[in-house]
Amino acid sequence: MGRYILRRLLSVIPTLIGVTLVIFLFQRLIPGDPAVAMLGERATEENIARIREQFGLDRPSFLDRDALAEGNLAGFFDSQYSRYFGRLMRFDLGESIHRRIPVAETLKERFPATLELSLLSMSIALLIGIPAGIASASKRNTALDGVTMVGSLIGVSMPIFWLGIMEIMLFSVFLKWLPTGGRLPTGVEIQSITNLLLLDSLLTGNFAGFVAALKHIILPAVALATIPAAIITRMTRSSMLDVLQEDYIRTATAKGLSLRIVLFRHALKNAFLPVITIIGIQAGTLLAGAVLTETIFSWPGIGKWVYDSILGRDYPIVQGVTLLISIIFLFVNLVVDLSYAILDPRISLE
């Protein structure tokens, strides 16, 4: 087991290096010059050249062949990518081209909002998806099964932006039950400990702040959780149906065990491996889906921030956010792989 964990941890290193390379390449393939985006289309050539030199955009992307021809070995490796990778080794994500503020500082302020939204959305998806999938599998070809499958099909087909707008129209405009956006109403303050408002309000005993934060997060969380809940439901049902046809399940049923014991003690553990895979994938995609959700509900996370940065060609912000999401995705997949070994010890032995 220990060797398996070590191998999985070591395999993350080359993957991270590859991620930095892909992020760097794709940012350079985006049409447009960040210096022109910063100064405007009417900027003079002198000012554009000055900005490019100031931010190192005049350097070659990878290797400087002219420097090698001149015998300057240090200049040969002095490229945009080497500088970018060198900053990452120092845990430095660089500065925003437009605002001249360290990316890590702004990321530290905004990411907890996205993390809180993603965690609540995944919790909602799990609370709905797994029980619905189990119930649908245990009542196959019944009205409950049909309703569950139709509901999951609607959920996976419904665009997030449309659902978000409909939620605002119904619960905010017509019923006036919930706010249209934002993270907290004006005048309500919560002492910051983790910058996760729901958790901080509970830790400080601020019940009024907890209710206010919950009212603001519930609509975007439900919108973001719709697709993962539908996918988890369908995968849980499919995996449970496969396991329920196994011989040991028939034996357990023949011994007179109740349906609840058969489902949760014998079937669910073996059916959970593919479900964990889907949960891991959906946990990563929630961060990508948060871009639309945060834009619709004016949620102060990284989604709207990175969207504006893409339009402004602010490379350091886009690179920093993309790298963070990639690391989270790798970490989630690592946890999924390790959970495989716990649920099925044969995997680690192989």
pLDDT tens string for the chain (350 positions)?
667 677 777 777 888 888 888 877 776 666 666 667 666 667 777 777 777 776 677 777 776 666 656 656 555 566 777 777 777 888 878 777 777 788 888 888 888 888 899 889 999 999 999 899 888 888 888 888 888 888 888 888 888 888 888 989 999 889 888 888 888 888 888 888 888 888 889 988 889 889 999 999 999 999 989 988 999 999 888 888 888 777 777 777 777 777 777 777 777 777 777 888 888 878 777 776 677 788 888 888 887 788 778 777 777 888 888 888 888 888 888 887 777 777 666 555 55
C-alpha span between 22 and 322 (Å, rounded): 10
Residue 22 lies in a domain: no
The answer to whether 266 and 252 are in contact (CB under 8 A) is: yes
Cβ atoms of residues 278 and 235 within 8 Å: yes
Assigned domain for 210 exists:
yes
Cα gap 288→325, rounded to integer Å: 8
Q: Which CATH number fits the domain that encloses residue 232?
A: 1.10.3720.10
Looking at the domain assignment, is residue 53 inside a domain?
Answer: no
Any domain includes 234: yes
Q: Would you state the structure tokens that stand for residue 329, as one six-digit string?
A: 């995705």
Buried b (16+ CB within 10 A) or exposed e, 228-254: bbbbbbbbbbebbbebbeeeebeebee
Q: Is 13 among the domain residues?
A: no
> ∠ at Cα 19 (14, 25), nearest 5°?
130
Range of the domain at 160: 106-349
- Number of structural domains (the chain) is 1
- Please state whether the predicted TM-score (pTM) of the whole model is above 0.85: no
- Position 82 in a domain: no
Flag whether 99 is in a domain: no
CA 337 to chain centroid: 18
